[in-house]
Amino acid sequence: MGIVIESSVWEPKPSLYIFIFLASFLSIFLLPNFSNRTLAPFDHGTSPSFLRFQRNFLLIFSLASGMEGVSSVFGEFELAYYGVSREQMVVSLCVGCLVAFFFSAFLGMLCDLIGQKKACLSFCVLHLSVGIWRRISLQPSVWLANICLSLATSIFSFSFETWMTVEHDKLGYRRDILIDTFWLMTFFESASFIGSQLLANWLLGSDVKKSVVAPSIASVILAMITIIYITKCWAETPQMAVFKDYKMSFYTHIFCDKRIWLLACAQACIHFSIAVFWILWAPTLVADGREVHLGLIFPCLLGARMLGSTALPWLTSVPSSLRTEDYLVYAFIIMGLVLYVVAYDYQEIGVLVTLFCLFHACAGLILPSLARLRTMYVPNELRGGMISLSLAPSNAAILFFVVQGGYYRNIGNATIFAFAALGLFGAAGCMHVLKRWGKQPYQNGHKL
């Protein structure tokens, strides 16, 4: 008589989804009753022109985030479908990191000179080109597609934020309400990533060939809608930047300011840690042959990020002596401890998912907070170049660990997680020093 061994695939309980998303929306809708100011999304006394400006931007940003999510929804499955081996996948990832490292810093400066509207349109055109190419080609070049998507991701990391802040100031809106747009950007970006997964699953059918090309069709449609909307409905005040003046200004305000160096270091560290997480989270969960439904865990992580972003208006609206640098120190330390535990302490799947959600909740708080600090220290006309330049060290580190860990197998996943944790601890130190060297977040009578 044979013995039947039952195997089960781990899935998060439905109550986890309910808790995360209910907590997010309660955090948003209850805040006006407890804060000393009303958030812009609820403030009916706010200028109608500002609300229109903010909502138009968030719509464009959500569409762009959806493009980013849809383009990578299948990941390795799509590459395997086209016959790409594991070694070729690692090489293509290295090529993408190399392109991001060499071109991202220059792209930011170039976009500051030509205007961020053109940069955002370039982002859409890159996604449109890759989507059409994947649709019409039986076997598209993985390397070329990865290069285009890496350039698009680099542009996405700075162009939309810079465009919004520049136009916000030029239109004369108060700087203290910028923080509302920053956390809403993180909130809507995470929601768009979840929506892109739902869209891909909806397009998924029994025909594997149609399933693989379905995200490309969705990406093309989203890119065309975004291009039309940006062209018709979003204005940009023409910039008359001269390269020589820009270079002098960049040297004076960016390279010679130690506070911006600290801010750039913190940005590089969190960018590296998040990239490491998305590369290694799936192998960590399925280690030792554990079976996990990864598609159901993905929304939990992004939902936690949405919840973390809603904590920012509470920290800045409720009367408190905490400065932005204070809570960022704690958030960076928590993220570092999470990665350190994941690296060196074997955990059950449920504990790992809890730690991963905590990691993303902290990321949801940190990302808009760093944008807030950039508004305090970085001139708007140099913002794109500063953000993209700060990502260069992180892209170099990602390339190094992908080559040594993924290609040559000289470094284990635990070691990579440990280095990411050390970087986050270093970012906490940067925030501590920035508090001592920085200025109070008040300008022109308004809290930034």
Token pair recorded at residue 412 = 């284990």
The whole-angstrom separation of Cα 48 and Cα 20 is 32
Residue 41: the pLDDT is: 55
Record the pTM. 0.92
CA-based nearest residue to 60, from 151, 161, 149, 128: 161
Q: Which CATH class is domain 48-447?
A: mainly alpha
What span, in angstroms and rounded, lies between the C-alpha atoms of 198 and 220?
A: 17
Which has the closest alpha carbon to 278: 306, 302, 260?
302
Domain coordinates in residue numbering, the chain: 48-447
**Which of 128, 117, 111, 112 is CA-nearest to residue 56?**
117
In contact, 427 and 269? CB cutoff 8 Å? yes
Distance CA 405, CA 412 (A): 6
Give dist(CA 421, CA 429) in Å, integer: 13
Low-confidence residues of the chain, pLDDT below 70?
A: 1-8, 34-46, 74-77, 138-140, 204-212, 236-241, 318-321, 439-448
Give the span between the Cα atoms of 334 and 341, in whole angstroms: 11
pLDDT at 267: 97
Q: What pLDDT score does 288 carry?
A: 81
Residue 149's identity, in one-letter code, is: L
Give the pLDDT of residue 410.
92
CB distance 417 to 195 below 8 Å: no
- % helix / strand / coil in the chain, to the nearest 5? 80, 0, 20
